[in-house]
Amino acid sequence: MITGIHHVQITIPKGAEEQAKAFYCDVLRLKEIEKPDSLKGRGGFWLEVGDRSVHVGTEDGVDRFSTKAHIAYSVTNLSEWGPILEAEGIERMEGIPIPGFDRFEFRDPFGNRVEMIQAL
């Protein structure tokens, strides 16, 4: 029986960890958490998001701009995120409306599709 989601993984190009940490930890204000020693040699890093985690892995040869795959962060202050991202040069895109929610999308500096969503 599936009981929930433990973590999700996104990828960045190999060697881009510091740039990714600057975006995800500094701009999005997510907390980096310790990876197990057995996985540290694989590159990337992990982030705490509420009671779940996002694993940021590394891989080359991926066209992240061409996929609909994405992660959606649930927020309580959606209106504050647009200006924060725009100040970083991140273009905000309006998503197709979903009843009961307000949301927008953007691409992270590596091309990963990201959504910010708030229940109304």
CATH code for position 32: 3.10.180.10
pLDDT at 25: 98
pLDDT at 95: 83
Q: Print the domain residue range for 42.
A: 7-119
Assigned domain for 2 exists: no
pLDDT at 83: 95
Predicted TM-score (pTM) of the model is 0.90
Domain count of the chain? 1
Q: Measure the CA–CA gap between 19 and 108, rounded to whole angstroms.
A: 11
Cβ burial 34-54 (10 Å sphere, 16+ → b, else e): ebeeeeeeebbbbbebeeebb
pLDDT at 69: 92
- Indicate if the alpha-carbon torsion angle 11, 1, 36, 115 is positive or negative: positive
Assigned domain for 57 exists: yes
pLDDT at 1: 83
Assigned domain for 1 exists: no
Stretches where the chain sits below pLDDT 50 are none
pLDDT at 80: 95
pLDDT at 2: 78
Assigned domain for 69 exists: yes
pLDDT at 4: 85
Residue ranges of the alpha helices (H) in the chain?
Answer: 17-21, 78-87
Residue 96: what are its φ and ψ, rounded to 5°?
-65, 130
pLDDT at 11: 96
pLDDT at 54: 97
pLDDT at 19: 97
